[in-house]
Structure 1
């Protein structure tokens, strides 16, 4: 039976609806959900306090909630931005992650999250993601990430933990699949977030098909696409209200992994507008795997969404850019997404049962 949950971030203010670490479990259960993906273990306990973590894990089990835990990020060019992980390792970021892997295994949290970079909202243009860090070309960052993942792999294998790389806004699905296959799909998987794929010029339907065999966790959102000047703007939207074909997507990922939990990553006050710089020569040169045909499909999807917005069928540019009350918007995004996912999965059941 498919289970549904929510992504939770405790420290960055984007998930204000749940309360503190213990209260959030009750709140998620009361919302009618089956589990959570907590962004990083160090948010739950910066010191990995054994007593507190045992109590928290026991309460999650009592409520029947699944728990998927995050372990920090794995691109050595940006890990200095995550000092709590280094603190856990007493000066070693690698040791910090190894210790968190062991703790997760102890509590049965063997499906874990990571990403290669972060959103840099204080900047603009190319520099909103780590892909275009001036001190290191992206291929160098990918090579360093692969080396770090190889160093983590023995701990992952020892403890039976899968580290799942998110389809985040700085990395392409082509690059993620190569990392998984290089380091080993026994220890690496994919955390699917289709809403990020257009930022890298990928049509979500194509990107989902590429990663589907390796998807072990999810942070699901849709993508609304609108032309703004000489670029395309990507906004995050509730599942079913953007350009993703959810029927095809869920059929693919659930066929590959029938036990996959469908976790939504809701968003609150704003819809995280990001540009698709598809006419910028430097941007284009960085996307060596992206075909002109797929980029054209993405542009066509933006035109189709724009036509629907003009007809009043979906949110238009002004609505997508309008700020919203944080908690109400967070809950609304989550509820609309889960409702659409449940309905879509229900429609898949007759097909799946006939195979």
Structure 2
């Protein structure tokens, strides 16, 4: 994440490129921001800023043989928007860190995200999600692999097929549900360019879901709970992949 106390975006990204070279990593992961960057918008302004920064660090990245993996992060961009960013910046040195949990924060079916972005994937984060209808619109929460209702098994199998040789990294975050009040007209100020057909896919997932209740979301044994959740998710994913 950008830290204004650490210099310009170009300076920070260049430091990361140098660090990646030192430790032997072929990839540097970066993010645009979060859902907060969609409003006030448009998000295209922030995308243009990222493209400019990437252009400025292109010589350093190519000199060191490092690629930049932009994550679809915390509801900042839908797949089509991230695809456009990569294409503008240059897919020869910019690609995607694909997160299966974050598309829902942009009202997007994770399967749509994978279908659009798989040609650009450099690495990934995988996690399951539960989505259900609420009076305001829909609620989304990240859950252990296999407990959600987004067909995460089908997603993993499709990822392996479409992104051969790319890392499938487990991410386990336990938080309370986030509500997306799409019945409120003001909510749409941040999502004016969301295609209706993509939103319909999101709504269909929510309509299939049931309220996910596993209280308390935060407790004194949170560390142990998170470890158990990670172990459960790893076991589920290994079973899908046929890993003993």
Q: TM-score, normalised by structure 2?
A: 0.88
Query: What RMSD, in angstroms, separates the aligned Cα atoms of the two structures?
Result: 2.3
CA contact (8 A) 1:202 1:295 kept: yes
Instruction: Find the aligned partners of 1:255 and 1:340 in 2 and give their Cα distance.
Output: 18
Give the match's secondary structure for 2:69. Answer: strand
Who is 1:8 aligned against? none
Instruction: Find the aligned partners of 2:141 and 2:184 in 1 and give their Cα distance.
Output: 20
Who is 1:12 aligned against? none
Instruction: Find the aligned partners of 1:230 and 1:137 in 2 and give their Cα distance.
Output: 24
CA contact (8 A) 1:200 1:276 kept: no
Deviation at 1:224? 0.8
Among 83, 90, 112, the alignment partner of 1:177 is 83
Matches within 5 A, 1:152-191: 152-168=57-73, 169-191=75-97
Any runs of at least 4 consecutive aligned residues in structure 1 with deviations exceeding 4 A, and if so which? Answer: none
CA contact (8 A) 1:174 1:289 kept: no
Cα deviation per residue 1:77-111 (whole Å; 9 max; x = unaligned)? Answer: xx53xx3xx2xxxx444223212202211221112
Q: TM-score, normalised by structure 1?
A: 0.62
Structure 1 segments unaligned to the other structure (5+ residues): 1-71, 74-78, 119-127, 310-315, 348-355
Instruction: Find the aligned partners of 1:93 and 1:290 in 2 and give their Cα distance.
Output: 28
Matches within 5 A, 1:301-316: 301-306=205-210, 316=212
CA contact (8 A) 1:98 1:152 kept: yes
Who is 1:229 aligned against? 135
Change over 3 Å in CA distance of 1:185–1:229 after alignment to 2: same
Who is 1:291 aligned against? 195
Give the match's secondary structure for 2:156. Answer: helix
Give yes or no for the alignment of 1:334 onto 2:230. Answer: yes
Cα deviation per residue 1:190-210 (whole Å; 9 max; x = unaligned)? Answer: 112111111111011112211
Give the match's secondary structure for 1:129. Answer: helix
CA contact (8 A) 1:201 1:278 kept: no
Give the match's secondary structure for 2:24. Answer: coil
Cα deviation per residue 1:98-149 (whole Å; 9 max; x = unaligned)? Answer: 122022112211122111114xxxxxxxxx62221x4x54222221121112
Who is 1:196 aligned against? 102
Who is 1:143 aligned against? 48
Work out the number of aligned pairs and report it: 241
Instruction: Find the aligned partners of 1:273 and 1:107 in 2 and give their Cα distance.
Output: 37
Cα deviation per residue 1:30-76 (whole Å; 9 max; x = unaligned)? Answer: xxxxxxxxxxxxxxxxxxxxxxxxxxxxxxxxxxxxxxxxxx44xxx
Cα deviation per residue 1:275-317 (whole Å; 9 max; x = unaligned)? Answer: 22323434435435533233222222112121xx5xxxxxx33
Deviation at 1:249? 2.1
Deviation at 1:321? 5.8
CA contact (8 A) 2:130 2:150 kept: no
Among 113, 126, 137, the alignment partner of 1:220 is 126
